[in-house]
């Protein structure tokens, strides 16, 4: 093991180990979450809580009217290669049949790769 784990915050034991996403102390039984290594801002999540990242594929979960047009993005429309941006509409993407759009993450669901 090349990475040193932090000691237990309860008893100070150095015999901690990782169990899934938690760190565990075998001496006192205390479990805690490891501090995140990189915190580069807000995390964007889809409608069911999956973390989104650039390049993901998502599907639209609700009919969305396109502002300034009579077009509608239908439920189930698959959007590939999204790009995350700051702002109210936090996804930039190219919707098939519509073109370049900005979407809110609350109206999409990540597709399993």
Query: What does the mean pLDDT of the chain come to?
Result: 87
Instruction: Please tell me the predicted confidence (pLDDT) of residue 37.
Output: 53
29-40 pLDDT, tens digit per residue, is 888 887 655 555
Residue 113 has pLDDT above 80, yes or no: no
83-111 pLDDT, tens digit per residue, is 999 888 999 999 999 999 999 999 999 99
Which residues have C-beta within 8 Å of that of residue 18, sequence separation ≥ 6?
5, 24, 34
Instruction: Please tell me the predicted confidence (pLDDT) of residue 3.
Output: 64
Task: Give the Å distances, CA to CA, from 38 to 5, 24, 31, 53, 61.
Answer: 16, 21, 21, 15, 31
Under DSSP, the state recorded for 49 is S
Residue 2 has pLDDT above 50, yes or no: no
pTM listed for this prediction: 0.61
Instruction: Please tell me the predicted confidence (pLDDT) of residue 41.
Output: 61
Task: Report the run of H or E that residue 97 belongs to, with start and end.
Answer: none
């Amino acid at each position: 093991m090349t990475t040193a784990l932090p000691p237990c915050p309860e008893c100070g034991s150095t015999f901690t180990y990782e169990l899934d996403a938690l760190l565990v102390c075998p001496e006192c039984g205390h479990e805690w979450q490891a501090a995140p290594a990189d915190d580069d801002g807000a995390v964007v999540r889809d409608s069911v809580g999956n973390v989104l990242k650039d390049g993901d594929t998502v599907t639209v979960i609700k009919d969305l009217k396109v502002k300034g047009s009579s077009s509608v993005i239908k439920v189930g429309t698959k959007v590939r290669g999204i790009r995350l941006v700051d702002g109210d509409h936090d996804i930039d993407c190219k919707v098939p049949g519509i073109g370049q759009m900005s979407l809110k993450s609350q109206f999409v669901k990540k597709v399993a790769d």
